[in-house]
Chain A
Amino acid sequence: MRELASELRLRTRLEPLREPSTVAAGSPALFATPFLYVAGEQQLPPLGDAGEAQLGRFIDQGGMIVFDAADGGADPGFERDVQALLARILPGSPLTPVARDHVLYRSFYVLDEPVGRTRAFNHALGVQEEGRLKVLLVRNDLGGALARGPDGLHSFPCTPGGPQQREWATRFAVNILLYATCTDYKADRAHVETLLRTRRWR
């Protein structure tokens, strides 16, 4: 997220904190911002009843959670645990594919698919209710594509697309944050009409 914050400052007018904060699910600090990024692989650690209840309130009050499967599609454990967690805190709200024409793919950049460190899945999953994405599950290790080591170099290679795929992953990460702050702004009629005109012209 530190890398993403830096990219957002460079590419957009967003002014995220330079250092992301890490919070426990049951902590009041969870509500410091309405955006929560959860990355992991294999099993999701238990959050406890209080933690899960607070995550439920977080979403109900308008928060958005992005789950990022760091396995990049190699292990279904993380996704399975996320599904189970959501079944408890958002019963009856399953994860469904985010359609390609969703505003998430044009909230800043115009994108075609949610690539990350890997390109195992050509779509993201999400809980889409009340006109917004409450939860987004990215299974191509988005964080891995952006991660840098202490030496400033990228920690992991992006496969199969290499540096170009990393750029696309960065753009997708930017789009996620723009969507989180602007919601469906780019779905407004004025924008859609302008964009359609532009694309036709091209």
Chain B
Amino acid sequence: MERWRLVAGHVPDPLALTLLVVCLAIAVVEAALALRGAGPGRPALPRRTRLGLFTLRMLGLLALLTVGLELTLARETVRPVGPRVAVLVDASASMALADAERPGAKTTPRIDRLRSFWSAGAPARAAWREQGLSPGLRSFADRSRPIAETDADELKVPVDGPASDLARALAELAQAPDAGEPGLATDDPRPLAAVLVLSDGLFEGTGTYGQPAQDPLLLAARALGVPITTVSAGAPAIRDVAVAELHAGEFAFVENVTEFSADLIAHGLADTPVDVDLRRDGALVASTRVTLAADGVPVPVRFEVAPDRVGQFVHEIAVRPLPGEATLANNRRAFVVKVLRDKVRVLHVAGRPDWDVRALRTLLGRDPNVELLSYYILRSVEDADRDDPSAELSLIAFPTDELFKEQLGSFDLVILHNFDAINHQVGVYLGDIASYVQEGGALVVIGGDMGLATGDYPGVLATTLPVDTRRPTGTLTDSYRPALSDAGRRHPITAWLAALPPDWSTLPAFDSYNPVQLAPHAASIASAVLLTAQGGAPLLAIAEPGKGRSLVLATGATWRLGFAADLPLVDGARPYDLLWLGAVRWLLRDAAAERLSLETDRPSYLRGQPVTLRATALTPSYAPEPAVPLAWEVRPLGAVEPAPANNNSPGPPTFLLSEGTWTTDALGRASDTLPGRLPVGAYEAMAWRTGPSGQVDGPPPARARRVFLVDEPGHELARVDADPGEQRLQALAEATGGRFLRARDGDALPSSLPLAELGDEGPGLRIDSRRSVPLWDGPWALLLALIGLGGEALLRRRAGLR
């Protein structure tokens, strides 16, 4: 604002100033007495003359004073320099919730209630300014931001903040002027006299504060040291159900029952039944129905699930919407669970001990992740007949019914190793083993002089195997070198062999095999022959019957790949280990069997945090693979490829968010970091191998996949009831010496706010600009003095005065 001022350029010393004032006073008094015209010794003059004399006296004195004090007229632009009032407006999402005075009444969004309150308080705000107070508005959610002056009168702020962190907003007000970043409240050097908080009081952690002395909000408020006046925007009646608390671990084990649970908190929905769904990657896994309790009373909802496969999945607990809910945004909570394989449970049954059994047992036994249950037939019935009955043996009974009936489903992998099943009363269980495979189990049949050789796998079990096991094959004991098939060059079990000479010359020869033939049904169960023996007979064949996987190795001689005078190591590993570890990984669908893996640096992120993707490529022998061109992309979970242009059905839209290419380094690694721009939601990242030109020949390559979540920093809408917020605001005001107001009760914005005692830093004005007009420095002042004093002398002379 602007103002005019008269400024003295020269102020005499006190004695001279006293004399000047006395003289001026005498002159003015004498002139005033003359104006009255009464008094002894004074001639009676007409009133007009007396008035003229007085005016000329005043004019002369004024001119003399102007010159003597060097008076200047100043035009100044000024603004209040008194203390400021920080007005903090809650811009969190809960401010958009509509509530009402009582159940069934018309609801009003909290922010609208607050805007009405603010608009009605315009006179009070004007009074603040007249008191020299400077209100400054800031919105706060997860952090605070200034509100533009143009938006201040109508509180034009979006209310979509992820959390309301008032303690942080207060702390930002308390920061030193030069310590904050640009835009902070501390840019304003004026002292803070008061804070006005406009909110529903649902701050982070509302309702969980135990000790007031440790309440971070009260600590921040007291540190600020000014009265905080609070205005509650909420109303008591609201209708809503929210998934308030989530109880789920980051890990679960496949086939092991794990519990995911949540607490539902509802308001205005007591005794209402509600359906709750558990979804995995968008697909419904389970549903349950619970009855909601009274306002604010948590209702637990639990899901017990046994994950059926390993991997990383986005799970979500979602309450089906009810009519009239204040918001649906709090009806669901998502979380990422990594399903791991518990110890792999392997059943290893061998018809007799031999070096091949020993090699496989040693390999499986040294893996700490394998729980190996072995049953080896150590003697036959004939051996028992010959034995000394008094000899104490360590043999135990072969629990066929327990292994192949009761516990069969508990095994991840069953290995029948040169096992004559029919001789040992296992023939009756072959159907159970077949069902086990069809339903997702993994089966290995290893040849030798029994089992395949003696036709011990007839019937329904044969339908799950890639080779024909219905008839005895016998055993051939010729020395030979296996051959790698075309399928074997690509398959993860044997692809590492493609790097070796194709004639098997660097590997030990085998000395026996079962001359099996491909099964008639081989094509129908996705069979493939990876290795062949003499004459092209299948030696290593795989199949995927039903949900399971099976593998037949028609020889008991693979132990020689781990024990030879000049055994080559492939990428530092024995060929035997590569073959069998690859086989077990493939059979168990282990993610580690994939030669390309993709990881994120964490399973979930807060909005704004960068997301780092890391890929690792391995050679067929599972060594780091450098210089591999890869492509990657990130898209929302469940987004699909766009429909072809000539397809009239539009299909779901694709939301490809980010993509790129990599080339792996010397350690087979590649990574990229996405800036934190992903909106809240579930995403899947994928990576795959590409050719040098970025294109892939043949079928689409397997994609490494990883899911992750982007979440809000807080769970703003987990609690919606305004009552505890109102209590909190009241407590805050009382603790700091402020006032507590309710917008819904018609409370008015007070024209006199409780202020901090600031002493000399009280209200005042700051001059921003000044324009000076010197009144003494020119002919006019002298002319006026001559006119005034000279005119008076002339008039007195004419009036007959001395």
- Report A's interface with B, CB cutoff 8 A: 10-15, 28, 30-31, 33-34, 54, 57, 61-63, 106-110, 130-132, 167, 171, 178, 180-186, 188, 190-191, 194-195, 198
Contact = CB atoms under 8 A, between A and B. Distances in A.
A15 B394 contact: no
A129 B679 CA distance: 56
A54 B566 CA distance: 10
B579 to A, nearest CB: 15
A194 B375 CA distance: 13
Contacts of A132: 362
Nearest to A30: B565
Contacts of B352: 13-15
B642 to A, nearest CB: 56
B149 interface: no
Given A13-B353, A57-B565, A131-B365, 20 more contacts: A10-B383, A10-B386, A13-B383, A15-B352, A33-B355, A106-B394, A109-B391, A110-B393, A110-B394, A130-B366, A131-B366, A178-B353, A181-B353, A183-B358, A185-B353, A185-B374, A185-B376, A186-B394, A188-B374, A195-B396
A185 to B, nearest CB: 6
A132 B366 CA distance: 11
B264 interface: no
A195 B489 CA distance: 47
Contacts, number: 102
Interface in B564-616: 564-567, 574
A34 B354 CA distance: 10
Interface in B85-143: none
B373 A188 contact: yes
Interface in B340-396: 351-355, 357-359, 361-362, 365-366, 372-374, 376-380, 383, 386-388, 391-396
A187 to B, nearest CB: 10
Interface in B523-563: 559, 562-563
Nearest to B353: A181
Nearest to B508: A31
B355 A34 contact: yes
Given A34-B563, A181-B358, A183-B361, A191 B380 contact: no
B395 A108 contact: yes
A62 B353 CA distance: 16
17 contacts: A11-B383, A11-B387, A12-B353, A13-B353, A15-B449, A28-B565, A34-B563, A61-B562, A63-B563, A109-B392, A110-B394, A130-B366, A180-B358, A185-B361, A185-B376, A188-B372, A190-B396
Given A13-B351, A13-B353, A131-B366, A178 B378 contact: yes
Contacts of A31: 563-565
Nearest to A15: B352
A34 B374 CA distance: 21
B378 A108 contact: yes
B563 A12 contact: no
B379 A11 contact: yes
Contacts of A186: 394
Contacts of B358: 34, 180-183
A13 B394 contact: no
A82 B374 CA distance: 34
A131 B351 CA distance: 24
A61 B435 CA distance: 38
A188 B373 CA distance: 8
A37 to B, nearest CB: 15
Contacts of A28: 565-566
B354 A15 contact: yes
A14 to B, nearest CB: 6
A167 B380 CA distance: 20
A11 B380 CA distance: 9
A37 B46 CA distance: 156
A115 to B, nearest CB: 14
B379 A182 contact: no
B562 A62 contact: yes
A12 B351 CA distance: 11
Contact of A182 (B361, B391, B449): B361
Given A182-B353, A182-B357, A107 B394 contact: yes
B565 A181 contact: no
B357 A13 contact: no
Contacts of B357: 181-182
A30 B559 CA distance: 15
Contacts of A182: 353, 357-358, 361, 376, 378
Nearest to A106: B394
A24 to B, nearest CB: 12
Nearest to A63: B563
Contacts of A107: 394
Given A14-B354, A15-B352, A182-B361, A62 B563 contact: yes
A100 to B, nearest CB: 14
Nearest to A181: B353
Nearest to A34: B563
Contacts of A12: 353, 378-379, 383
B392 A62 contact: no
Nearest to A194: B396
Nearest to A57: B565
Nearest to B449: A15
A122 B69 CA distance: 128
Contact of B394 (A30, A62, A130, A191): A191
Contacts of B351: 13
A14 B380 CA distance: 10
Contacts of B559: 34
Contacts of A198: 396
Contacts of A62: 359, 362, 562-563
Which one of A106, A109, A182, A186 has the greatest number of beta carbons of chain B within 10 Å? A182
Contacts of A13: 351-353, 377-380, 383
Which one of B352, B376, B395, B564 has the greatest number of beta carbons of chain A within 10 Å? B395
A194 B362 CA distance: 22
B564 to A, nearest CB: 5
B565 A14 contact: no
Contacts of B353: 12-14, 178, 181-182, 185
Contacts of A183: 358, 361-362, 365
A75 B224 CA distance: 94
Given A188-B373, A191-B394, A195-B396, A61 B567 contact: yes
A31 B564 CA distance: 5
A48 to B, nearest CB: 15
A31 B576 CA distance: 15
